[in-house]
Structure 1
Amino acid sequence: MGICMKIDNIELREGEICLRLMEEKDKEAYYDAAFLNGDEEAMYFTGTKERFERDTVYAFIQKIIPDESRYDFIINNSHNEIIGEAVIHEIEEEERSAGFRICLFRSVDFSKGYGSIAIRLILKFAFETLKLHRVELEVFDYNHRGQRAYEKAGFVVEGTKRDGLYLNGTFHDIIMMAILEEEYFKKYGSVS
Protein backbone atom coordinates (compact mmCIF):
# COMPACT_ATOMS: atom_id res chain seq x y z
CA MET A 1 0.00 0.00 0.00
CA GLY A 2 1.29 3.47 -0.87
CA ILE A 3 1.52 6.07 1.83
CA CYS A 4 -0.18 8.87 -0.10
CA MET A 5 -3.73 7.58 0.39
CA LYS A 6 -4.91 7.95 3.97
CA ILE A 7 -6.31 4.83 5.62
CA ASP A 8 -9.51 5.25 7.66
CA ASN A 9 -10.93 3.40 10.66
CA ILE A 10 -7.62 2.26 12.12
CA GLU A 11 -7.57 0.76 15.58
CA LEU A 12 -4.33 -0.51 17.11
CA ARG A 13 -4.49 -2.55 20.35
CA GLU A 14 -2.14 -4.09 22.86
CA GLY A 15 -3.02 -4.95 26.44
CA GLU A 16 -4.94 -2.11 28.09
CA ILE A 17 -4.10 0.40 25.37
CA CYS A 18 -6.02 1.22 22.20
CA LEU A 19 -4.94 3.74 19.58
CA ARG A 20 -7.55 4.94 17.13
CA LEU A 21 -7.63 7.76 14.63
CA MET A 22 -9.01 11.01 15.94
CA GLU A 23 -12.47 11.87 14.67
CA GLU A 24 -14.51 15.07 14.73
CA LYS A 25 -16.70 13.60 17.50
CA ASP A 26 -13.61 13.34 19.76
CA LYS A 27 -12.87 17.05 19.86
CA GLU A 28 -14.60 17.82 23.17
CA ALA A 29 -13.23 14.81 25.05
CA TYR A 30 -9.78 15.42 23.53
CA TYR A 31 -9.77 19.06 24.62
CA ASP A 32 -10.91 18.16 28.13
CA ALA A 33 -8.27 15.43 28.47
CA ALA A 34 -5.40 17.48 27.06
CA PHE A 35 -6.12 20.98 28.33
CA LEU A 36 -8.61 20.83 31.21
CA ASN A 37 -7.48 17.62 32.90
CA GLY A 38 -3.91 17.53 31.58
CA ASP A 39 -1.30 18.61 34.10
CA GLU A 40 1.68 20.94 34.14
CA GLU A 41 4.23 18.11 34.41
CA ALA A 42 2.94 16.50 31.22
CA MET A 43 2.97 19.86 29.43
CA TYR A 44 6.55 20.45 30.57
CA PHE A 45 7.79 17.22 29.00
CA THR A 46 6.33 18.21 25.63
CA GLY A 47 7.63 21.78 25.82
CA THR A 48 4.09 23.18 25.72
CA LYS A 49 4.24 26.84 26.65
CA GLU A 50 0.54 27.71 26.79
CA ARG A 51 -2.93 26.26 27.12
CA PHE A 52 -4.95 26.68 23.96
CA GLU A 53 -8.52 27.93 23.70
CA ARG A 54 -11.23 25.39 22.91
CA ASP A 55 -12.12 26.98 19.54
CA THR A 56 -8.46 26.98 18.47
CA VAL A 57 -8.13 23.26 19.24
CA TYR A 58 -11.43 22.43 17.51
CA ALA A 59 -10.29 24.29 14.36
CA PHE A 60 -6.95 22.46 14.45
CA ILE A 61 -8.70 19.08 14.72
CA GLN A 62 -10.91 19.90 11.72
CA LYS A 63 -7.78 20.80 9.75
CA ILE A 64 -5.73 17.68 10.58
CA ILE A 65 -8.37 14.96 10.18
CA PRO A 66 -8.37 15.02 6.35
CA ASP A 67 -4.62 15.75 6.08
CA GLU A 68 -3.02 12.86 4.16
CA SER A 69 0.47 13.67 5.45
CA ARG A 70 -0.36 12.63 9.01
CA TYR A 71 -2.14 10.16 11.27
CA ASP A 72 -3.37 11.54 14.60
CA PHE A 73 -4.17 8.78 17.07
CA ILE A 74 -5.95 9.10 20.39
CA ILE A 75 -4.54 6.86 23.12
CA ASN A 76 -7.33 5.27 25.17
CA ASN A 77 -6.95 3.21 28.34
CA SER A 78 -9.02 0.14 29.28
CA HIS A 79 -11.81 2.44 30.57
CA ASN A 80 -12.01 4.10 27.12
CA GLU A 81 -10.65 7.34 28.58
CA ILE A 82 -8.40 9.51 26.43
CA ILE A 83 -5.00 9.53 28.14
CA GLY A 84 -2.85 10.89 25.33
CA GLU A 85 -2.06 11.16 21.66
CA ALA A 86 0.43 9.63 19.25
CA VAL A 87 1.03 11.28 15.89
CA ILE A 88 2.77 10.28 12.68
CA HIS A 89 3.23 13.55 10.80
CA GLU A 90 5.04 15.15 7.90
CA ILE A 91 4.91 11.93 5.90
CA GLU A 92 7.21 12.21 2.89
CA GLU A 93 6.18 9.72 0.22
CA GLU A 94 9.37 9.71 -1.87
CA GLU A 95 11.69 9.39 1.14
CA ARG A 96 9.21 7.06 2.91
CA SER A 97 9.87 8.99 6.11
CA ALA A 98 7.79 10.68 8.79
CA GLY A 99 8.02 12.44 12.09
CA PHE A 100 6.57 11.03 15.29
CA ARG A 101 5.42 12.53 18.56
CA ILE A 102 3.62 11.19 21.58
CA CYS A 103 2.16 12.75 24.69
CA LEU A 104 0.48 11.33 27.76
CA PHE A 105 -1.70 14.11 29.17
CA ARG A 106 -1.45 13.30 32.90
CA SER A 107 1.61 12.43 34.93
CA VAL A 108 -0.40 9.78 36.82
CA ASP A 109 -0.25 7.75 33.60
CA PHE A 110 3.56 7.93 33.41
CA SER A 111 5.71 4.87 34.18
CA LYS A 112 2.88 2.39 33.59
CA GLY A 113 4.12 1.22 30.20
CA TYR A 114 1.35 3.02 28.28
CA GLY A 115 3.80 5.16 26.31
CA SER A 116 5.98 2.16 25.45
CA ILE A 117 2.96 0.23 24.18
CA ALA A 118 1.80 3.19 22.09
CA ILE A 119 5.29 3.61 20.60
CA ARG A 120 5.41 -0.08 19.60
CA LEU A 121 1.95 0.12 18.02
CA ILE A 122 2.86 3.25 16.08
CA LEU A 123 6.13 1.73 14.83
CA LYS A 124 4.34 -1.42 13.71
CA PHE A 125 1.81 0.69 11.81
CA ALA A 126 4.50 2.94 10.33
CA PHE A 127 6.78 0.17 9.09
CA GLU A 128 4.39 -2.71 8.39
CA THR A 129 1.32 -0.88 7.10
CA LEU A 130 2.61 2.42 5.72
CA LYS A 131 5.89 0.79 4.60
CA LEU A 132 7.96 3.72 5.83
CA HIS A 133 11.75 3.58 5.73
CA ARG A 134 12.44 6.04 8.55
CA VAL A 135 10.61 7.47 11.57
CA GLU A 136 12.17 10.38 13.44
CA LEU A 137 11.40 12.38 16.54
CA GLU A 138 12.70 15.12 18.78
CA VAL A 139 12.89 14.89 22.57
CA PHE A 140 14.02 17.50 25.07
CA ASP A 141 17.20 16.91 27.05
CA TYR A 142 15.35 16.94 30.38
CA ASN A 143 12.88 14.22 29.33
CA HIS A 144 14.98 11.26 30.45
CA ARG A 145 11.97 8.94 30.73
CA GLY A 146 11.04 9.64 27.12
CA GLN A 147 14.62 9.16 25.92
CA ARG A 148 14.79 5.75 27.62
CA ALA A 149 11.45 4.69 26.15
CA TYR A 150 12.53 5.70 22.64
CA GLU A 151 15.89 3.92 22.95
CA LYS A 152 14.15 0.81 24.28
CA ALA A 153 11.85 0.91 21.24
CA GLY A 154 14.85 1.03 18.88
CA PHE A 155 15.34 4.74 18.20
CA VAL A 156 18.96 5.91 17.83
CA VAL A 157 20.30 9.35 18.73
CA GLU A 158 21.33 11.17 15.55
CA GLY A 159 22.20 14.61 16.84
CA THR A 160 21.45 17.56 19.07
CA LYS A 161 19.97 20.98 18.43
CA ARG A 162 21.88 22.86 21.09
CA ASP A 163 19.72 25.29 23.08
CA GLY A 164 16.85 24.60 20.66
CA LEU A 165 14.10 25.19 23.22
CA TYR A 166 13.62 28.13 25.56
CA LEU A 167 11.21 27.17 28.34
CA ASN A 168 10.62 28.66 31.77
CA GLY A 169 13.62 30.97 31.50
CA THR A 170 16.10 28.26 30.49
CA PHE A 171 17.53 26.98 27.21
CA HIS A 172 17.36 23.22 26.60
CA ASP A 173 18.87 20.96 23.96
CA ILE A 174 16.64 19.06 21.56
CA ILE A 175 17.80 15.50 20.91
CA MET A 176 17.04 14.11 17.46
CA MET A 177 16.37 10.37 17.24
CA ALA A 178 15.26 8.02 14.47
CA ILE A 179 14.67 4.38 13.65
CA LEU A 180 15.07 2.85 10.19
CA GLU A 181 12.99 0.01 8.78
CA GLU A 182 15.87 -2.50 8.93
CA GLU A 183 16.43 -1.62 12.60
CA TYR A 184 12.73 -2.06 13.29
CA PHE A 185 12.55 -5.48 11.61
CA LYS A 186 15.78 -6.63 13.27
CA LYS A 187 14.33 -5.74 16.68
CA TYR A 188 10.71 -6.80 16.21
CA GLY A 189 10.89 -9.47 13.49
CA SER A 190 9.33 -9.67 10.08
CA VAL A 191 5.73 -8.96 9.18
CA SER A 192 3.51 -11.76 10.43
Structure 2
Amino acid sequence: MNQSPAIQGKRVLLRKPIETDALDFFKCGRNAELVRMYGGDTRNLQPLTMEDARNFIDNILRNNLEWCVEYDGRCIGQARLTVSEADCRARYAVGLFDSSVWGIGLGTEITQLVLQYAFEELNLHRVDLRVLEYNHRAIACYQKCGFVIEGKEREGALIEGRFETDVIMSILDREYEALKTAF
Protein backbone atom coordinates (compact mmCIF):
# COMPACT_ATOMS: atom_id res chain seq x y z
CA MET A 1 0.00 0.00 0.00
CA ASN A 2 1.22 3.44 -0.86
CA GLN A 3 2.05 6.04 1.78
CA SER A 4 0.34 9.38 1.36
CA PRO A 5 2.72 11.82 -0.33
CA ALA A 6 2.54 15.55 0.23
CA ILE A 7 0.27 17.14 -2.39
CA GLN A 8 0.53 20.89 -2.96
CA GLY A 9 -2.52 22.74 -4.26
CA LYS A 10 -3.06 26.43 -4.99
CA ARG A 11 -4.17 27.19 -1.43
CA VAL A 12 -3.82 23.96 0.53
CA LEU A 13 -1.14 21.41 1.26
CA LEU A 14 -2.11 17.80 1.93
CA ARG A 15 0.55 16.24 4.14
CA LYS A 16 1.28 13.85 6.97
CA PRO A 17 0.76 15.27 10.49
CA ILE A 18 3.33 17.49 12.18
CA GLU A 19 3.80 18.43 15.85
CA THR A 20 1.48 21.49 15.83
CA ASP A 21 -1.54 19.81 14.20
CA ALA A 22 -3.10 18.54 17.44
CA LEU A 23 -2.97 22.06 18.89
CA ASP A 24 -4.58 23.50 15.72
CA PHE A 25 -7.37 20.92 16.02
CA PHE A 26 -7.76 21.56 19.76
CA LYS A 27 -8.09 25.33 19.22
CA CYS A 28 -11.07 24.74 16.91
CA GLY A 29 -12.93 22.87 19.62
CA ARG A 30 -15.81 20.51 19.05
CA ASN A 31 -18.19 22.05 16.51
CA ALA A 32 -21.80 20.83 16.79
CA GLU A 33 -22.55 21.41 13.10
CA LEU A 34 -19.49 19.40 12.03
CA VAL A 35 -20.38 16.58 14.44
CA ARG A 36 -23.88 16.52 12.93
CA MET A 37 -22.52 16.44 9.34
CA TYR A 38 -20.36 13.46 10.33
CA GLY A 39 -23.45 11.73 11.72
CA GLY A 40 -22.58 12.19 15.38
CA ASP A 41 -24.86 13.00 18.29
CA THR A 42 -24.79 16.68 19.29
CA ARG A 43 -27.19 16.42 22.22
CA ASN A 44 -24.51 15.98 24.88
CA LEU A 45 -21.29 17.26 23.31
CA GLN A 46 -18.30 17.28 25.61
CA PRO A 47 -15.54 19.86 25.19
CA LEU A 48 -12.65 18.70 23.06
CA THR A 49 -9.64 17.74 25.15
CA MET A 50 -6.00 17.90 24.11
CA GLU A 51 -5.94 14.08 24.39
CA ASP A 52 -8.88 13.87 21.94
CA ALA A 53 -6.99 16.15 19.56
CA ARG A 54 -3.79 14.09 19.79
CA ASN A 55 -5.74 10.87 19.19
CA PHE A 56 -7.42 12.38 16.14
CA ILE A 57 -4.07 13.40 14.64
CA ASP A 58 -2.44 10.08 15.61
CA ASN A 59 -5.20 8.25 13.69
CA ILE A 60 -4.36 10.28 10.59
CA LEU A 61 -0.70 9.34 10.99
CA ARG A 62 -1.57 5.63 11.21
CA ASN A 63 -3.55 5.55 7.95
CA ASN A 64 -1.57 5.04 4.76
CA LEU A 65 -3.60 7.38 2.58
CA GLU A 66 -4.79 10.05 4.96
CA TRP A 67 -3.63 13.65 5.01
CA CYS A 68 -3.80 16.66 7.26
CA VAL A 69 -4.98 19.70 5.32
CA GLU A 70 -2.80 22.74 5.83
CA TYR A 71 -4.13 26.17 4.93
CA ASP A 72 -2.60 29.50 5.86
CA GLY A 73 0.09 27.76 7.94
CA ARG A 74 -2.23 25.70 10.13
CA CYS A 75 -4.03 22.36 10.07
CA ILE A 76 -7.72 22.88 9.25
CA GLY A 77 -8.92 19.37 8.42
CA GLN A 78 -8.20 15.97 6.96
CA ALA A 79 -8.81 13.89 3.85
CA ARG A 80 -8.64 10.12 3.37
CA LEU A 81 -8.73 7.45 0.70
CA THR A 82 -9.48 3.90 1.78
CA VAL A 83 -8.26 1.83 -1.14
CA SER A 84 -9.38 -1.63 -2.19
CA GLU A 85 -6.56 -2.71 -4.48
CA ALA A 86 -8.39 -5.90 -5.52
CA ASP A 87 -11.04 -3.96 -7.43
CA CYS A 88 -9.20 -0.66 -8.12
CA ARG A 89 -11.46 1.53 -6.04
CA ALA A 90 -11.38 3.75 -3.00
CA ARG A 91 -13.75 5.32 -0.50
CA TYR A 92 -13.18 9.07 -0.03
CA ALA A 93 -13.73 11.15 3.08
CA VAL A 94 -12.89 14.76 3.87
CA GLY A 95 -13.59 17.03 6.79
CA LEU A 96 -12.73 20.62 7.61
CA PHE A 97 -12.88 21.01 11.37
CA ASP A 98 -12.03 24.74 11.26
CA SER A 99 -15.42 26.35 10.57
CA SER A 100 -13.77 29.70 9.77
CA VAL A 101 -12.74 28.28 6.36
CA TRP A 102 -16.11 26.80 5.39
CA GLY A 103 -17.67 28.12 2.21
CA ILE A 104 -14.51 29.41 0.48
CA GLY A 105 -13.94 26.46 -1.85
CA LEU A 106 -11.28 24.57 0.05
CA GLY A 107 -13.31 21.35 0.07
CA THR A 108 -13.48 21.51 -3.71
CA GLU A 109 -9.73 22.08 -4.04
CA ILE A 110 -8.94 19.23 -1.61
CA THR A 111 -11.31 16.86 -3.40
CA GLN A 112 -9.83 17.69 -6.80
CA LEU A 113 -6.29 17.09 -5.47
CA VAL A 114 -7.24 13.73 -3.97
CA LEU A 115 -9.05 12.68 -7.15
CA GLN A 116 -6.01 13.61 -9.21
CA TYR A 117 -3.85 11.43 -6.97
CA ALA A 118 -6.39 8.57 -6.99
CA PHE A 119 -6.78 8.43 -10.75
CA GLU A 120 -3.39 9.61 -12.03
CA GLU A 121 -1.03 8.07 -9.45
CA LEU A 122 -2.93 5.09 -8.04
CA ASN A 123 -4.66 4.35 -11.37
CA LEU A 124 -7.96 3.64 -9.67
CA HIS A 125 -11.12 2.94 -11.62
CA ARG A 126 -13.60 4.35 -9.11
CA VAL A 127 -13.78 6.61 -6.07
CA ASP A 128 -16.97 6.62 -4.03
CA LEU A 129 -18.33 8.15 -0.85
CA ARG A 130 -21.30 8.32 1.45
CA VAL A 131 -22.72 11.60 2.68
CA LEU A 132 -25.75 12.37 4.78
CA GLU A 133 -28.58 13.73 2.65
CA TYR A 134 -28.91 16.85 4.81
CA ASN A 135 -25.25 17.80 4.16
CA HIS A 136 -26.12 19.99 1.17
CA ARG A 137 -22.81 21.88 1.18
CA ALA A 138 -20.79 18.65 0.85
CA ILE A 139 -23.07 17.20 -1.83
CA ALA A 140 -22.72 20.39 -3.91
CA CYS A 141 -18.92 20.21 -3.53
CA TYR A 142 -18.80 16.58 -4.63
CA GLN A 143 -21.05 17.21 -7.63
CA LYS A 144 -18.85 20.15 -8.64
CA CYS A 145 -15.89 17.74 -8.60
CA GLY A 146 -17.67 15.22 -10.84
CA PHE A 147 -19.25 12.80 -8.38
CA VAL A 148 -22.57 11.37 -9.51
CA ILE A 149 -25.39 10.38 -7.18
CA GLU A 150 -25.86 6.63 -7.55
CA GLY A 151 -28.58 6.15 -5.01
CA LYS A 152 -29.64 6.47 -1.44
CA GLU A 153 -29.68 4.29 1.61
CA ARG A 154 -33.02 5.37 2.96
CA GLU A 155 -33.12 6.00 6.69
CA GLY A 156 -30.04 3.87 7.27
CA ALA A 157 -28.42 6.06 9.90
CA LEU A 158 -29.95 6.62 13.34
CA ILE A 159 -28.80 10.08 14.41
CA GLU A 160 -30.12 11.81 17.50
CA GLY A 161 -33.17 9.56 17.58
CA ARG A 162 -34.08 10.12 13.92
CA PHE A 163 -33.47 7.92 10.92
CA GLU A 164 -31.48 9.81 8.28
CA THR A 165 -30.68 8.97 4.67
CA ASP A 166 -27.23 8.49 3.18
CA VAL A 167 -26.47 9.52 -0.40
CA ILE A 168 -24.07 7.25 -2.27
CA MET A 169 -21.92 9.05 -4.85
CA SER A 170 -19.05 8.03 -7.12
CA ILE A 171 -16.80 9.15 -9.93
CA LEU A 172 -15.20 6.80 -12.46
CA ASP A 173 -11.82 7.19 -14.10
CA ARG A 174 -13.33 8.08 -17.50
CA GLU A 175 -15.56 10.72 -15.89
CA TYR A 176 -12.54 12.19 -14.14
CA GLU A 177 -10.61 12.29 -17.43
CA ALA A 178 -13.49 14.11 -19.14
CA LEU A 179 -13.62 16.71 -16.34
CA LYS A 180 -9.88 17.03 -15.71
CA THR A 181 -9.42 20.00 -18.03
CA ALA A 182 -12.10 21.90 -16.08
CA PHE A 183 -10.07 21.60 -12.84
- 2:23: which partner in 1? 29
- Give the drift of 1:130: 1.2
Q: How do 1:69-148 and structure 2 match up within 5 A?
A: 71-77=65-71, 79-89=72-82, 91-148=83-140
RMSD: 2.3
- Give the drift of 1:173: 0.2
- For residues 55 and 29 of structure 2, what CA distance do their matches in structure 1 show? 20
Paired residue secondary structure (1:173): strand
Paired residue secondary structure (1:94): helix
1:65 counterpart (61, 72, 78)? 61
Paired residue secondary structure (2:119): helix
State the Cα deviation string for residues 121-159 of structure 1 (Å, max 9, x = none). 110011111111111100101011111110110111111
Structure 1 pair 74/147, CA: closer, same or farther in 2 (3 Å)? same
CA contact (8 A) 2:126 2:172 kept: yes
- Give the drift of 1:58: 4.0
Gapped regions of structure 1 (runs ≥ 5)? none
Paired residue secondary structure (2:107): helix
CA contact (8 A) 1:19 1:74 kept: yes
- 1:17: which partner in 2? 12
**Count of residues in Structure 1 that have an aligned counterpart in Structure 2:** 177
Gapped regions of structure 2 (runs ≥ 5)? none
- Give the drift of 1:40: 1.4
One-letter identity of the residue aligned with 1:112? I
CA contact (8 A) 2:66 2:79 kept: yes
